[in-house]
Amino acid sequence: MRRLVLLLIVALLGAGFYGSQHTTALRANGASVSARELRTELSAIASTPTLQCYLTAMDPVNFASGAGAASIANAGAAAWSNLRLEGLTIDTYVAQQLKYRPSASDLATATTSLEDQMAQSAATNSFNCPGSPALAVAAMPVAMRQFEALAQASSLDLVQRLNTTIPLTLSSLKAYYAAHTSSYDTLCISVALVPPASVAAFSAAQKSGVSVANLAKKFSLDASAAKGGTYGCYAPASTSYSSVRADVNGLALNTFASSPNYVTVSGATYALYVAVTSRTTTPFLSAERAVLADLQSTNAASANTIKSSLLYRAAIMVDPSFGRWGLASSGPQVFSNAVPAKGDVANAAVFTSPNVTAYQ
């Protein structure tokens, strides 16, 4: 999918009024996006918290203070322009060279695929987005939503044709699940949220053989401490599953990792320790979406290779109001303008990723 082929790199932003309404903002191999259409999309992202959050979660970006607030707006406009150009490039290649025309069923599948990836990215990056991915997609202007579905469908088709990728078919999903069944266990976990000043004492107690439950009771500031850190169980269908699975990867049962993850809660930093207390095999039907997401991620590297190749060969035009086309170490891309217009400084609004606890 295009989110396989290219991850969304949207960090937004208030969308200033860029470009003339009637000019072409972007063009790739003859396919184009008008300035009016691109501005409409930027405005929708900036003014819709649910859409903004899920898009930003696809690839969170930290913005340092720069040349006024408009430097953020310019960066966001460039990021979305870059995504649009990548989509146009892939769409034209798949349509012209591979003769692919997605059916209504293909577009519906692509939309579901996009929503699944939004949910997975939000969970992986601990974004507690308001509303569901389906609401985020529904909030897109019609032309934007149609473009996203088409681009996702084209990318899915492209990925399926690559020799180095795993076909996203039911039989492939089942075969992958059978070979990696333990990767989709339902996981019950305990946690300890430890202030930095207590980490050394926690580690010493851990090395002396103190149990997970007693470590949590003694050191954790989380509400679960009274229950020995018992936090809950997560099945593959949970939006937090990928984060939980990553945190306990390689750990033996009832064992905290020797090194914690550091998280921010209400502006303060804590050491988060996570232990898996039980594993239960999950049937394929319950794990299917998680298996699909993993195969999509596995295919991403191969897809990104061909995406870069297509961009190198594409005929690209970018209206300077939205950014500038250039070559980065990772390949061709749109760069944000170095100097923002004065009017943009006053109008720009910055989206800040929320601080959240470990799992929602």
Distance from C-alpha of 216 to C-alpha of 224, rounded to nearest angstrom: 8
What's residue 328's pLDDT? 82
pLDDT along the chain (360 residues), means of 10: 37 40 82 89 85 78 35 68 88 89 92 88 82 93 92 84 74 91 92 91 92 92 90 88 86 89 85 92 90 79 78 88 82 73 43 38
What's residue 22's pLDDT? 54
What's residue 240's pLDDT? 83
DSSP-derived letter for residue 336 is P
Distance from C-alpha of 290 to C-alpha of 295, rounded to nearest angstrom: 9
Tell me the two tokens of residue 10: 């949207």
Distance from C-alpha of 189 to C-alpha of 233, rounded to nearest angstrom: 6
Alpha helices, DSSP H only, in the chain? 2-5, 35-47, 49-57, 70-96, 104-124, 133-138, 142-161, 170-179, 199-207, 212-219, 241-248, 284-313, 342-347
b/e 63-72 (16+ beta carbons within 10 angstroms → b): eeeeebbbbb
Structural domains of the chain, with CATH: 2-176+287-347 (1.10.4030), 186-280 (3.10.50.40)
Q: What is the 3-state secondary structure (H, E, C) of 251-285?
A: CCCCCCCCCCEEEEECCEEEEEEEEEEEEECCCHH
Residues in the chain: 360
What's residue 60's pLDDT? 56
Which candidate, 66, 63, 47, places its Cα nearest to that of 347?
Answer: 47
Distance from C-alpha of 285 to C-alpha of 302, rounded to nearest angstrom: 27
